[in-house]
Structure 1
Amino acid sequence: MASQSPAAEPTDPDCLFCKGGFVVTAELYRDEDMVVIDDIHPSGRTHWLIMPLQHIRSVEALTAAHLPLYRKMLAVRDQLVLEHHPDITPATRHRVRSGFHRGSRKINVVGPLKFTLPEVISVKHLHMHVITDLNTNIGYLKYPLWNPLIFITAEEVLKRLESEEKAVNGGPADGSQSHTEL
């Protein structure tokens, strides 16, 4: 049974992006599924936000049903990096940081003991940060690859979604292969 893309979720009236209250400095890309804009407070040579038009609150709300959209977000990321930064090669892809700040979630500490981690997202609409050549010390603290409790990489999210899909369907339902970074 093929996995269907989730139906468009209703616009959230409290979401800055959905209600049009989001400051856009430059739009780099738009299609029927997503928009890519410059971050108004860049933390690198370039700092883009890839945002689905469908309201998805946070990275924790992504499910295996969102895989087609998510893979498209990764493909758009890779295409934009290729177009805007031809100097970044597979050997220098470490210069590109892409991922998400974390939403609220429960974690098991020991046995039945659970702990709720607070969210660290400021805009409650899914947005993937794509930063090339991180340029500030604060940026290393705000987008820490070393702390997945705060920031999770795009590739780790893909692994989680593909694992969920495999658990539900016994493998990729659409016959697609896993996306590889850059």
Structure 2
Amino acid sequence: ELYRRGGSPPGPELDETMSRIENEAARMGLLVEDLLVLAALDEERPLRRSQVDLLAVAADTVRDAHVRSPHRTVSLTDFEPVTVSGDEHRLRQVTTNLVTNALQHTPTDARVTLRVSASENVAMLEVSDTGPGVPPEHAPHIFERLYRADPHRARSHGGAGLGLAIANSIVKAHGGRIELANTPGSGATFRVLLPLT
């Protein structure tokens, strides 16, 4: 910050170094936040439950994705109004983590689609992509903490291998589960199943 305020004379090499330091500091800040979320979930702290409009959460996530990645195709299709009892902030974190994961691990021309529906006693939120899918050898580990199927690629995007683990922990805290429906070469679908109230 001192450098940005003129503490040192500017130069291209110093600018690049400072930019890298700032990026790493931001990445480490996000990592600490993610670890704190996991610690809170591990302690089974009570959720701040209310009636949550899952369709509104999905629609907001799509709008946020358009702002962050305007060149990507992210859409909400096949939807119906669904209300669940849950912690709205945490459920937003689940949808954001799933969409961010899809955007980070697919080519720029891949589509990401969200769907919201309900059947019997279960609410369902799906995040699908048309990317390469998850390699079969990585699928059993995809929700493990700090697991990265491609560590070099994930590091270039700032990922620490916590996004899916956090999403999984949040969904479990809500009495639900996440399933991976995967077709290597044709994309992946993460299906969040939550109890209806």
Q: TM-score, normalised by structure 1?
A: 0.32
Query: Rg larger in 1 or in 2?
Result: 2
Q: TM-score, normalised by structure 2?
A: 0.30
